[in-house]
Amino acid sequence: MIDVAFVVDSSFKTRGQSAWTQLLAFVNAVIDWLAISQFSLRVSFVSYGDSARIEFRFQQYSDSRSLKQRIAGIGYHNSGGNNLASALDTVRTQVFQTNAGARQGAPWVAVVVTDRSPSIRTQDTATAAGQARAAGIQIIPVGMTGTGRLTQSILTQIAFVNSRVFSSTSYSAMTASAPNVAAAICDSHLSESLNT
């Protein structure tokens, strides 16, 4: 029994809609490795740019096929800024709440998927991640690092444990990491008390 929120960066991308489509394809590649059902692993989705938007909550999809169709259809914000702090706050205060459908006693996992460093509330990102971790949310960052993009230090800064930081230098390499990210999600019940 695990509740997983995918928190996906929908801010402006040089490659535009193509890049967004590849981020969604990565999420769906991870889902291919998970057993989705109302009684075991459930998924929520938050997209973010200048602000965060809850696309759907945990109770809405109980099978992989309809879940993947919904994810593939999520629109690209194309907003100028990247407000990861707002996304982490939204996940903590509006998604991982029992009155919003999160299950008490289940590991809560937020998989943050990004290809860009925060540009809004940058000084609040570490604090927002710390508050999420203190609320029991295990953050697994997945990022595309490289010149002019995202730095590895941002991923490490928000991670629940450093051993669960995934970075790549291309969208295809990110998608290739899907089985490892899925394994980290499935192992979340083993590491609820880890803090390294």
Confirm whether 47 is domain-assigned: yes
Which domain CATH number covers 128? Answer: 3.40.50.410
Q: Does the residue 196 lie in any domain?
A: no
Contact 20, 123 (CB under 8 A): no
CA atoms within 13 A on the CB side of 64: 11
| Amino acid sitting at position 72 | A
Residue 77 in any domain: the answer is yes
Q: How many domains, the chain?
A: 1
What pLDDT was estimated at residue 131? 96
Q: Is residue 195 part of a domain?
A: no
Residue 11: domain span: 2-190
Would you write out the chain's pLDDT as a tens digit for each of its 196 residues?
Answer: 899 999 999 988 767 788 899 999 999 999 999 999 888 899 999 999 999 999 999 999 999 999 999 999 999 987 788 999 999 999 999 999 999 999 999 999 999 999 888 888 989 999 999 999 999 999 999 998 875 678 888 999 999 888 889 999 888 899 999 999 999 999 886 655 443 3
| Residue 104, pLDDT score | 92
Question: How far apart (Å, rounded) are the C-alpha atoms in residues 7 and 139?
Answer: 10
The number of residues making up the chain comes to: 196
Does the residue 88 lie in any domain?
Answer: yes
